[in-house]
């Protein structure tokens, strides 16, 4: 019983760690997709919760039923035609680009705040990722089981400090009075959730193959989604209360944490780097598992190949890579969700028989 409960929370941590990169931990993604929409941003975050749980369940059901081992096999199953091939190809490109973006982000973060060469941050991220990835699925679970509780602790600490020092302005009426800079909260929610789900599929599919316990996998997805939503609510609340000042900063949450002293800021920077690390591990794990099953390249060799490809691409720069890769992938992710839903409802009777 205790062992099963531990595994469930470990799976929840992997789910959270895959989605929460430096963008969410820094407040940048929440600002871009939600906080600009005013108080309706909270509705958008709830929509993401529904999508995370429902799509997570669908991916797990299909993966276990058909014994799928990589996102490549999953996409071919739900969309065997030309559109599936395009989605599969673009997903692979995105995951490699995502790994490159994080390497570039690690270099930029350490260079900006510690005034050292960006190559130090890039090589450090590559070496630590390689060490964890060579341990396979066990390494993926272990690293997220450490990083995610740290993330929850730091974000909750900042939130409690913020609330305790802002009691006089914290009210529903004040939040409703905050100006909205965008009315596209629904589209933003769909794009953000879809973007994250297709990234998660790269981890959920091989995990479903190796763990095979539907109950624990589904519980992990549900718990992970609820915790992720709670974190997003806290971050969004703090950012909303600091509009429009947060628009001036690349790391909005660091601006919020500024009033709480150097130690809190340093902790936030550390967790941002660790969340970059957890997402880097998840992305490379996903691609490597696909290379292993599609091209029969040994997993450990695949990890090294992906890293050797990602390092040169990282030289295009953090901001440049995000600007071109992320928007294009948003539309593909929505197509992916529709494909999954169509397949699931078409085969729902047989999928319900999965033990």
Domain at 328, CATH number: 1.10.4160.10
| The token pair that represents 180 in the structure block | 């909205």
Count the alpha carbons within 13 Å of 139 in the hemisphere toward its beta carbon. Answer: 19
Q: What is the mean pLDDT of each run of 10 residues along the chain (355 residues)?
A: 80 90 77 90 96 95 90 88 82 83 83 84 93 90 91 94 83 84 89 86 88 87 96 94 85 85 88 88 89 89 93 73 64 86 86 63
Q: What is the pLDDT of residue 10?
A: 92
Domain that holds residue 343: 26-351
* Structural domain includes residue 41: yes
* Structural domain includes residue 6: no
* Structural domain includes residue 2: no
Q: What is the pLDDT of residue 355?
A: 53
* Structural domain includes residue 13: no
| Distances, alpha carbon 87 to alpha carbons 90, 127, 223, 262, in Å | 5, 30, 28, 44
Q: What is the pLDDT of residue 110?
A: 83
How much is the pTM?
0.88
* Structural domain includes residue 12: no
Q: What is the pLDDT of residue 317?
A: 61
| Distances, alpha carbon 283 to alpha carbons 131, 157, 254, 325, in Å | 15, 29, 26, 15
* Look-up of token digits 């990083």: 147
Element (H, E) at 74: helix 71-78
Q: What is the pLDDT of residue 226?
A: 97
CA distance 138 to 214: 19
CA distance 72 to 294: 8
213 phi and psi angles, rounded to 5 deg: -95, 100
CA distance 350 to 325: 37
* Structural domain includes residue 20: no
Which runs of E-coded beta strand occur in 134-281? none
Q: What is the pLDDT of residue 149?
A: 94
CA distance 124 to 105: 12
SS3 23: helix
* Structural domain includes residue 1: no
* Structural domain includes residue 3: no
Q: Which of 255, 250, 252 is nearest to 319 (CA)?
A: 250
* Contact status, residue 106 vs residue 278, Cβ threshold 8 Å: no
Quote the number of domains for the chain.
Answer: 1
Residues 6 or more apart whose CB falls under 8 angstroms from that of 201 comprise 59, 71, 74, 336
Q: What angle do CA 18, 19, 21 make, to 5 degrees?
A: 90
């Amino acid at each position: 019983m205790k062992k099963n409960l531990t595994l469930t929370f470990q799976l929840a941590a992997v789910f959270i760690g895959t989605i929460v990169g430096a963008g969410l931990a820094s407040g940048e993604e929440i600002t871009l997709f939600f906080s600009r929409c005013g108080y309706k941003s909270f509705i958008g975050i709830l929509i993401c919760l529904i999508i995370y749980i429902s799509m997570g369940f669908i991916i797990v059901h299909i993966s276990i039923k058909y014994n799928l081992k990589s996102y490549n096999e999953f996409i071919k199953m739900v969309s065997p035609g030309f559109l599936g091939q395009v989605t599969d190809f673009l997903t692979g490109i995105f995951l490699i680009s995502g790994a490159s973006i994080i390497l570039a982000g690690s270099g930029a973060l350490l260079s900006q705040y510690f005034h050292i060469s960006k190559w130090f941050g890039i090589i450090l991220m590559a070496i630590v990722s390689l060490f964890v990835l060579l341990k396979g699925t066990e390494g993926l679970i272990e690293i997220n089981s450490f990083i995610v509780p740290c993330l929850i602790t730091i974000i909750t600490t900042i939130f409690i400090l913020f609330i305790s020092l802002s009691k006089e302005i914290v009210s529903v009426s004040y939040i409703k009075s905050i100006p909205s800079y965008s009315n596209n909260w629904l589209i933003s929610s769909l794009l953000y959730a879809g973007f994250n789900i297709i990234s998660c599929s790269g981890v959920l599919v091989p995990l479903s193959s190796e763990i095979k316990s539907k109950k624990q996998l589904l519980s992990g997805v549900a718990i992970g989604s609820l915790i992720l939503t709670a974190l997003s609510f806290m971050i969004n609340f703090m950012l909303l209360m600091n509009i429009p000042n947060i628009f001036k900063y690349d790391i909005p949450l660091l601006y919020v944490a500024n009033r709480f002293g150097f130690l809190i800021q340093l902790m936030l920077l550390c967790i941002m780097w660790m969340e970059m690390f957890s997402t880097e591990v998840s992305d490379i794990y996903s691609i490597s598992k696909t290379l292993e099953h599609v091209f029969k390249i040994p997993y450990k060799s695949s990890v090294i190949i992906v890293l050797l490809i990602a390092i040169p691409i990282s030289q295009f720069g953090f901001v440049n890579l995000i600007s071109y890769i992320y928007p294009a992938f948003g539309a593909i992710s929505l197509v992916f969700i529709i494909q999954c839903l169509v397949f699931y409802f078409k085969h729902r009777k047989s999928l319900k028989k999965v033990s």
